[in-house]
Amino acid sequence: MHPLPRSTTTTRDHPVEEYPTSPREVAEDIVGRAEAPWPRWRWLVLALGALFLLGVVGLALRVGQGGDHTRWGYYAALLGFLYTVAGGAPIVSVATRMAKAHWRRPLARIAEVYAVVGVLTLLLFIPLMGVIPPAEGRNTIWIVGGVRQGWPPGAPVAYDLLTLVMVALGGLALLWIAAIPDLAALRDRGRGGLTALLSLGWRGTLRQWQVHRAALGVAGGLYFIAYVGGCIPFASDLVLSFVPGWKDSIFPAYYALSGLQAGLAAVVVTAFFLRTVGGYRRYIHVDQFWGAAKLLLALSLLWAYFHWSAFLTFWYGRTPTGQNLQVLLYFGPYRPLFIASLFLNWLIPLFAFLIGPVRRSVLGPTLVSFSILVGALLDRIRLHVATWSVPDPRGHTFEAVPPPVPLGVADGLLLVGGIGGALLLYVLALRFFLPMSAWEMKELTYLRVVRPFLKTRAVVLGKPE
């Protein structure tokens, strides 16, 4: 395949934008950007660092105010939001890689780097370990008192901590394995220290590529199991078990699915900023946003399906606990949050992506993704704050709906600072691991070519497998 000159052409549906045409050009551009200063990068780091310090102040205020678990609902909502968004984002790379989709290549590293936020979620869980009520006397997924008192030991805190550890380590392993060829390229350009150590002496032999492909598949599969399986104890112990009598086998699946939706939305928004501000316009095109829009539409429909399936059980059951639960989560003090998430996570994506020009654009999927992220945050606040406001989670029936918990100063600082800290960690990781997978983009140049087609030019992709 002979390289074609770079050009901007047009097809019937969308423009064929400028593409790099050779592996050497890709390597020099992507790897070289890691050595060049990122415009305004230091100012971005300072701003996010200041937000993170505000979160530290909010945590100090929350600890100083003391109190029982009812005061920690917003903090738990922050933890749930970061866990599902940052934990669900790497699944975008895993799933689309398994499907052998070429359009996902520029998004792969963007999604994988979100795994570093798992370290922050693990640290955020530590203050909650002394706040979460013990499993004795509560409806949990753990058999406590059913066989003998206190079994299994440490439930639920120990197993939730283990879940976060597995997700964090699994995500970091996935990111590291995927980045080994790029770390070796940085090592060969003079970067030593940790970069050279993590490259594992990579030389790009055929045997190394075979092992790398196999290891990447195993790491992706294990991470998928860790995240989706981890949503079962996480959602059950930090949401379900706080309301006496709430039995819902659909809720953990909904919790994981909404995380996949929000994770993909975070990848799309990040790709938009890297395209417009980061200088990666030649790599991130309409195809990436168009492909992500199709998946977002499907995930939004599934979001509504799981919501409706769980709601019907309580609506037609007409038990006192089910009716009080409907008031708590849907029709009572947190009704505005439910309505907002209903629009932001379902109705807006549904009707926006029914419009072809919106679906086949850069700005349209980005705005819809931003609405999904806002809706996911409001939904986590609704779920965690409402359930953590129940004074006594023990017992078998939910008899009284507690009043709403207002957003305090400490809670606001925690939400802003926690999200700022996650973004700070992500931006720092981008400088180390590269925002774009150079080896995957180099591989794409062997499979993609722009050819004349009728009165225009079109992108032709090869399918080697």
- 2 secondary structure, DSSP code: P
**Is residue 450 domain-resident?**
no
Confidence of residue 234 (pLDDT cuts 50, 70, 90): very high
Q: How many whole angstroms separate alpha carbon 243 and alpha carbon 246? A: 6
| pLDDT tens-digit map of 249-266 | 899 999 999 999 999 999
Residue 442 has a pLDDT of 83
| pLDDT tens-digit map of 101-123 | 888 899 999 999 999 999 999 99
Determine the Cα angle at 396 with ends 391 and 398, to 5°.
50
- Residue 8 pLDDT greater than 60, yes or no: no
Name which of 16-30, 158-172, 237-251, 402-416 the model is least confident about: 16-30
117 phi and psi angles, rounded to 5 deg: -70, -20
Q: How many whole angstroms separate alpha carbon 320 and alpha carbon 409? A: 35
360 phi and psi angles, rounded to 5 deg: -100, 45
Mean pLDDT over residues 413-437, rounded?
A: 93
**Contact status, residue 372 vs residue 262, Cβ threshold 8 Å:** yes
Determine the Cα angle at 125 with ends 400 and 416, to 5°.
85
SS3 (DSSP) at 453: strand
SS3 (DSSP) at 155: coil
**Is residue 452 domain-resident?**
no
**Is residue 221 domain-resident?**
yes
Name the residue range of residue 355's domain.
Answer: 43-441
182 phi and psi angles, rounded to 5 deg: -70, -35
**Is residue 363 domain-resident?**
yes
Q: How many whole angstroms separate alpha carbon 365 and alpha carbon 265? A: 9
- Residue 3 pLDDT greater than 70, yes or no: no
3-state helix, strand, coil in the chain (%, to 5): 70, 5, 30
pTM: 0.91
Element (DSSP H or E) covering residue 16: strand 15-16
Provide the number of structural domains found in the chain. Answer: 1
Instruction: List Cα–Cα distances, 93 to 52, 102, 229, 390, in angstroms.
Output: 28, 11, 18, 38
Place of tokens 């860790």: 226
Beta bridge partners of 16: 9
Confidence of residue 268 (pLDDT cuts 50, 70, 90): very high
Residue 100 has a pLDDT of 85
- 189 secondary structure, DSSP code: T
Q: How many residues does the chain have?
A: 465
- Residue 16 pLDDT greater than 70, yes or no: no
| pLDDT tens-digit map of 164-195 | 999 999 999 999 999 999 999 889 888 888 98
**Is residue 2 domain-resident?**
no
**Is residue 319 domain-resident?**
yes
Q: How many whole angstroms separate alpha carbon 265 and alpha carbon 253? A: 18
**Is residue 455 domain-resident?**
no
Residue at 216: amino acid letter: L
Element (DSSP H or E) covering residue 255: helix 251-276
**Is residue 390 domain-resident?**
yes
